[in-house]
Amino acid sequence: MSTSLHHRAIENLGTRIITGELPTGHIMLAEHLEEELKVSRSVVREAVRVLQSLGLVETTKRVGIRVLPPSRWNPFDSQVIRWRLSSDARGAQLRSLIELRSAVEPAAAELAANNAPAQLRRELVDIAHALRDAGHSGDAQKFLELDIAFHSVLLSGSGNEMFANLMGQVAETLTGRTVHGLMPDHPHEGALQWHVDLAEAVAAGDAATARDASEQIMRRTTSRLSGTWTDQPRVFIPVRRN
Amino acid sequence: MSTSLHHRAIENLGTRIITGELPTGHIMLAEHLEEELKVSRSVVREAVRVLQSLGLVETTKRVGIRVLPPSRWNPFDSQVIRWRLSSDARGAQLRSLIELRSAVEPAAAELAANNAPAQLRRELVDIAHALRDAGHSGDAQKFLELDIAFHSVLLSGSGNEMFANLMGQVAETLTGRTVHGLMPDHPHEGALQWHVDLAEAVAAGDAATARDASEQIMRRTTSRLSGTWTDQPRVFIPVRRN
DNA sequence: TGACACCGATGTGTGCAGACATCAAAACTC
DNA sequence: GAGTTTTGATGTCTGCACACATCGGTGTCA
C-alpha cells in the first residue's frame, strides 16, 4: 500500500486521538488541519469522514471537528484496535481481546464440530500435528505461524462470519506474545496436546470435547498474558439511552 | 437530522451492495455515480472512502470502484449489521448475532460479578425486578425496554469495551423478536426468574451462578429464534494468508 | 430598570465545478 | 515475449456558493 495522503491523514489523526494527544472534546478546524498536515481540503474532508464513521470525531457546523470520548469509538474496527495496541492502552486492549477470544473460541469450536466442511476439519488436524512437532523441535517462527493458522481455521470453520472476522485480531495477540518475550523456548506440552485434542474432536464432530479443549487453551493463554495488564484500570462504558 | 447527501449516498450504495443488487466484482465509475445519485464529485468520493473503510469496495486506478465479496465486509460494523438485517440475509445475520451473544453474555456476566461497580450492580437488580413485574402484568412495550436495559447494563458492567459495544446489536435482536411476532403475551416464567437470579448473582459477586443463569437465558433465546434461519446456509469465510 | 424574545452578523461545515498530477492497466513496438 | 508508450481512471488541489448553528445586539414588555 503506497500510503496515499488520505491514508496518512487518517493514520496521523487516528493515532493522535487514541493516544490522547488530541483529547476528548478537543476541537479542530478543517482549515487548520489543511496547513498542519500540508494537504488539501479534499484530503482532510475525506479523512474526517472516515474518522467520523469510526466514531472518533463528530462534525458540527459553526463549531468544527470535535474529538469524541473513547466510549464512542468502534472497538471492533481493526484500525482502532491497531492504534490502541500501539498506545499506552496496549494492556487494556490485549485484555479485551483475550476476554473476547476466551468467550468466542470455545463457542467456535462447538460450532465447527457441528458444521465445518470436511476439508477444514482435515486441515485443522494436520495443522495441530504440525504444531505439536514444531513445538517439540523448538522452531519458534514456524510454531507461531502454525498457531495463527490453527486458530484462524478454527474460527473460519465455525461458519459464523463474525467469529471468522476475529482472525486478524487473534493473529495480533499471538504475535504480540512473542514481541513481549512471553513465549517459552519449548511450548507447554499440555497446550500442544490440547490443540491436537481440539482438532480431533472437531474432526469427529464431538462438540463438547472440542469446547472443553478450547477452554483449556484459552485459560492457559489468559494466565500467561494476564501479567501485561495488571495495572490497567477497567473502563465502564455508560449505557446509551435514547 | 436532515440526512446529508453524504449520508444518503452511503446508505444508497451500502444497501445495494449488501442486498446483492451490486454484486461482488461489479465495477462502478465515480463519474457514473455522480450522475446516478445526482451529487457532486466530493460527495461521491467521501462516501466511497467510508465504504472502503467498511470493506465494501476497493478503488483501483485505471479500473474504478470494485465491489468486494462479503468475506471482506466488516461484520462488526453497526451499519453493515443494520443493512444485513434488512436484507435477505436477515436470518443469517440474526443467527450470527445470537451465537455471538450466547458466547459473550455468559462471559460478561462472569466479569460483571467480579468487577462491576456497586451502582451498576444495584441498577441491574432493580431492572430485573421491574422486568419480572412487567412480564407478569403483560406490558409488552415496557417489557421490551427493560429487557434491552437489562442486557445493556450487564454488558456495560463487564468492564470490557468490546462487550459493551454489542449493546446496540443486542437491542436490534431483541426488537427484531417483537417485529417477528415471536414474543408471547406472557413471557416465560423461568426466563423472568433467570434474569433475577443473574442480577442477584452479579450483585453478590457470584460469578459461577451468574454465568449459569446467563447461559440459561441465551439457550432459551436461541431456541425461540432458531426458526427464523433454518433455511439460511452457513458461509465459511476463507482463511486469509499473507 | 430588568427580563425576555427576536433577529441579523458571523463563521464553519457542506456541496459544487473544474483543473492538473499520478500511476497502473492496456495497447503497442520491437 | 520483453520492454515501451499510451490511455484513462483515481488522487489531489483550488476557488466559490450555500446552509445553518451560534452569538451578540436590539427591541419589546412587564
Please write the tens of the pLDDT for every residue from B199-226: 999 999 999 999 999 999 999 999 988 8
- DSSP lists the bridge partners of residue B59 as B65
CATH code at position A180: 1.20.120.530
In the listed set B39, B72, B105, which residue is the last one of a domain according to the structure? B72
CA–C1' span, A26 to D14, in Å?
28
The span from the CA of A234 to the CA of B162, in Å, is 12
The span from the CA of A103 to the CA of A30, in Å, is 42
Distance from CA of A227 to the nearest CA of B (A): 17
Q: Do B234 and A156 touch (CB under 8 A)?
A: no
Domain count, chain A: 2
Q: Which strand (E) or helix (H) includes residue B67? A: strand B64-67
Q: How many alpha carbons lie under 13 Å from residue B104 in its C-beta half-sphere?
A: 30
Chain A hits for B107, CB-CB cut-off 8 Å, are 99, 102-103
pLDDT at B67: 95
The span from the CA of A149 to the CA of A198, in Å, is 14
pLDDT at B235: 87
Residues A51 and A140 in one domain: no
Statement: residue A181 has pLDDT above 90: no
Task: Find the mean pLDDT for residues A64-69.
Answer: 93
Residues B101 and B216 in one domain: yes
Residues A14 and A39 in one domain: yes
**Does the residue B77 lie in any domain?**
no
Residues A52 and A150 in one domain: no
pLDDT in tens, A102-133: 999 999 999 999 999 999 999 999 999 999 99
Banded model confidence at residue B184, pLDDT cuts 50, 70, 90: low
- Measure CA B110 to chain center: 21
**Does the residue A234 lie in any domain?**
no
Pick B46's closest partner by Cβ from A45, A75, A163: A45
Task: Find the mean pLDDT for residues B114-139.
Answer: 95
In the listed set A72, A97, A118, which residue is the last one of a domain according to the structure? A72
pLDDT in tens, B63-77: 999 999 999 999 999
Domain coverage including residue B102: 89-229
Residues A60 and A100 in one domain: no
CATH code at position A28: 1.10.10.10
- Cell numbers that stand for A147 in this block: 498457531
Residues A101 and A201 in one domain: yes
Statement: residue B2 has pLDDT above 60: no
**Does the residue B79 lie in any domain?**
no
Q: Which strand (E) or helix (H) includes residue B27? A: strand B27-28
Closest CA to A195 of A119, A135, A111: A135
- DSSP lists the bridge partners of residue A59 as A65
The span from the CA of B8 to the CA of A93, in Å, is 34
Instruction: DSSP letter for A26, please.
Output: -
The span from the CA of A194 to the CA of A148, in Å, is 15
Residues B95 and B58 in one domain: no
Residues B52 and B124 in one domain: no
**Does the residue A78 lie in any domain?**
no
Distance from CA of A152 to the nearest CA of B (A): 6
Residues A113 and A216 in one domain: yes
Q: Do B153 and A239 touch (CB under 8 A)?
A: yes
Q: Say how many C-beta atoms besides its own lie within 10 A of residue A40's C-beta.
A: 10
**Does the residue B81 lie in any domain?**
no
**Does the residue B162 lie in any domain?**
yes
Residues A96 and A62 in one domain: no
**Does the residue A84 lie in any domain?**
no
Strand D nucleotides with an atom less than 7 Å from a protein beta carbon = 7-15, 19-22
Interface check for B136 against chain A (CB to CB < 8 A): the answer is: no
Residues B93 and B187 in one domain: yes
Residues A30 and A144 in one domain: no
The span from the CA of A25 to the CA of A57, in Å, is 9
